[in-house]
Structure 1
Amino acid sequence: MIDNALTEEQDPKSKIIGRAQGFYSMAAQNDIALLMVMTLVFEDGKHKGSTISILGRNPVLNDVREMPIVGGTGQFRFARGYVLAHTVWFDANTGDAIVEYNVYVSQS
């Protein structure tokens, strides 16, 4: 399960604008890939009260990973698109990471 701070910038001390909530599990036998189910919950700023839902395969050792946006709520109702995830920092001892998500969304 995940319930991580969603910040404006890569710096963990930057403004928290929401939460990244969901879960992941191992999804591959021959490489390291996760099945990600994640909702970006906006709790502050111009998208407050809205969400973006992501569901897809995350091959975590790739520099950039693409996952689909499957919906949203509020300002992102009927959202479709994709996210590009990039691991900025990873601590192998603790498992902590900073992951940048570039979000490309359209609405029908």
Structure 2
Amino acid sequence: MSITVSGPAATSFIIASLNNDSSSFGLTEGPDPGSRLVGRAESLDVIASLASRSALTATNFVFTEGKHHGSSLTVLGRAAVRGFPDRTIIGGSGRFRMARGFMLGKIIKATGISAVEEVDMYVLNY
């Protein structure tokens, strides 16, 4: 198996590392980086196609402030660089225990390997 991380035939991209600024995966109330931080996103993204800019994502949205403090939502699905990623909410913890639903995302700003995504989550929980 060969992995190429640069050039026109790249097969792997470094998205984030432990040395990056910790605000990279912040959940904020709005798109402005100065917006109030309400949580963190813990994500594993796997690019599995050379034909399209898409990835399989598994993400935990962990809330650290407000009425959802200590709760999380888990989202799984295909994320495309363009368009409106539609991913499935497959579970949660705390206030979101046994959650189901879907998440719609929209990239509103992208520069290099950094992006700001606006998400709307539609959640049913018991």
- TM-score of the alignment, normalized to the shorter chain, above 0.5: yes
Q: Is 1:66 aligned to 2:86, yes or no? A: yes
> 1:38 — aligned with what?
59
Deviation at 1:29, TM superposition (A): 3.9
3-state secondary structure, aligned to 1:49: coil
Greater strand fraction, Structure 1 or Structure 2:
1
> 2:29 — aligned with what?
8
Deviation at 1:13, TM superposition (A): 0.5
TM-score (norm 1): 0.90
Structure 1 letter corresponding to 2:105:
A
Greater helix fraction, Structure 1 or Structure 2:
2
Structure number with greater Rg is 2
Q: Is 1:97 aligned to 2:115, yes or no? A: yes
What is the total number of aligned residue pairs between the two structures?
105
Deviation at 1:28, TM superposition (A): 2.5
- Structure 1: runs of 5+ lacking an equivalent: none
Structure 2 letter corresponding to 1:21:
E
Q: Is 1:54 aligned to 2:75, yes or no? A: yes
Asked which structure has the greater RCO (Cα within 8 Å, sep 6+), the reply is 1
| Alpha carbons 1:72, 1:78 under 8 Å: kept | yes
Structure 1 letter corresponding to 2:104:
L
- Structure 2: runs of 5+ lacking an equivalent: 1-14, 17-23
Deviation at 1:25, TM superposition (A): 1.2
> 1:78 — aligned with what?
98
For residues 28 and 82 of structure 1, the distance between their equivalents in structure 2, rounded to whole angstroms, comes to: 23
3-state secondary structure, aligned to 1:82: strand
**Which consecutive segments of 4 or more residues in structure 1 shift more than 6 A?**
none
3-state secondary structure, aligned to 2:66: coil
